[in-house]
């Protein structure tokens, strides 16, 4: 596990993007797992900028989003189909036909089909992750089994409240979603996690230094052989011991 701490969120985005670009340089058909939310936006901007400066051919890069709301039309501006198109495909310069998002219409078999599509693509090379204030990964809320596959989940009140900032009113926020399971996420060959702000500090500290328990989904990352955490000083403020030092550090 490597922990990178920086006072600058933009620098964290650049560092994370460098890992993605390296994966694409090594494998022009790399499969990248795509997270939504505000945390990875700077990384996507940096990825596009670095790829353009290098003249990197990304025409065959494939992507799989972590999740999607149930009940929002794909064309809704806050559906993850729209967010991935807007924040990733257009910014990075990917082929939209090679970027997949779960279907949010709640049809039976969609979860199994999504897991199967990831397997048929050869698995995820680099999975981008954020972390929720309650330690969730994707929309895997506390109590989700570590071996869970892609599934439909009821969102907690805390997650719904956190997502309300993207909607005109809290009443518009979907209460269910389809998400890659923790077992699905864990199968990625490399995991990169980005977290910024003091609101994430308790979850970051618990995930890195607390017990590995299904009550804190992100603690599963302690067991993965290839994880990079990219956190700013505010998100790192509750870490202790060797993780408490500032700077772009690796342990």
Between the alpha carbon of residue 24 and those of residues 56, 104, 227, the distances in Å are 8, 29, 18
Listed in sequence order, the residues at least 6 apart from 62 whose beta carbon sits closer than 8 Å to its beta carbon are 29, 30, 31, 32, 98, 99, 100, 121
Does position 251 have pLDDT exceeding 60, yes or no? no
What order do you get walking across the sheet with 31-34 strand by strand? 2-6, 227-232, 190-195, 126-129, 31-34, 62-65, 99-100
Give the Cβ contact number of residue 129 at 10 Å.
23
Domain 9-126+135-190 part of CATH 3.40.1010.10? no
Domain spans, the chain:
9-126+135-190
Q: What pLDDT, on the 0 to 100 scale, is given for residue 159?
A: 86
Average pLDDT for residues 34-38, to the nearest whole number?
93
Percent over 70 (pLDDT), the chain: 96
Q: What pLDDT, on the 0 to 100 scale, is given for residue 247?
A: 45
Q: Which one has a higher pLDDT value, 107 or 217?
A: 217
pTM assigned to the model: 0.94
Q: What pLDDT, on the 0 to 100 scale, is given for residue 162?
A: 86
Q: How far apart are the C-alpha atoms of 238 and 203, rounded to whole Å? A: 9
Does position 250 have pLDDT exceeding 50, yes or no? no
Q: How far apart are the C-alpha atoms of 152 and 34, rounded to whole Å? A: 18
Q: What pLDDT, on the 0 to 100 scale, is given for residue 37?
A: 87
Average pLDDT for residues 41-63, to the nearest whole number?
97
3-state secondary structure of 79: coil
> Over the chain, what is the mean pLDDT?
93
Q: What pLDDT, on the 0 to 100 scale, is given for residue 26?
A: 97
Q: How far apart are the C-alpha atoms of 214 and 114, rounded to whole Å? A: 23
Q: What pLDDT, on the 0 to 100 scale, is given for residue 107?
A: 85
Does position 200 have pLDDT exceeding 90, yes or no? yes
Q: What is the DSSP letter of 156?
A: P
């Amino acid at each position: 596990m490597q922990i990178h701490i920086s006072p600058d969120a933009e620098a964290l985005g650049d560092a994370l993007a460098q890992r993605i670009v390296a994966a694409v340089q090594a494998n022009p058909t790399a499969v990248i797992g795509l997270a939504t939310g505000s945390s990875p936006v700077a990384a996507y901007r940096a990825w596009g900028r670095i790829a353009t400066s290098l003249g990197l051919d990304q025409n065959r890069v494939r992507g799989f989003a972590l999740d999607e709301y149930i009940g929002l039309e794909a064309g809704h501006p806050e559906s993850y189909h729209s967010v991935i198109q807007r924040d990733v495909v257009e910014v990075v310069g990917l082929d939209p036909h090679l970027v997949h998002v779960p279907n949010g219409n709640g049809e039976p078999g969609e979860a199994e089909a999504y897991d199967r599509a990831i397997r048929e693509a050869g698995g995820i090379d680099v999975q981008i992750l954020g972390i929720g204030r309650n330690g969730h990964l994707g929309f895997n809320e506390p109590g989700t089994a570590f071996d869970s596959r892609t599934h439909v989940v009821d969102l907690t009140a805390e997650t719904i409240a956190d997502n309300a900032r993207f909607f005109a009113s809290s009443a518009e926020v979907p209460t269910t979603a389809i998400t890659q399971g923790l077992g699905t996420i864990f199968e990625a060959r490399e995991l990169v996690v980005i977290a910024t702000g003091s609101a994430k500090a308790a979850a970051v500290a618990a995930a890195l230094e607390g017990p590995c328990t299904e009550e804190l989904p992100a603690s599963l990352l302690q067991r993965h052989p290839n994880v990079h955490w990219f956190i700013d000083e505010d998100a790192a403020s509750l870490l202790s011991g060797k993780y408490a030092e500032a700077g772009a550090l690796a342990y």
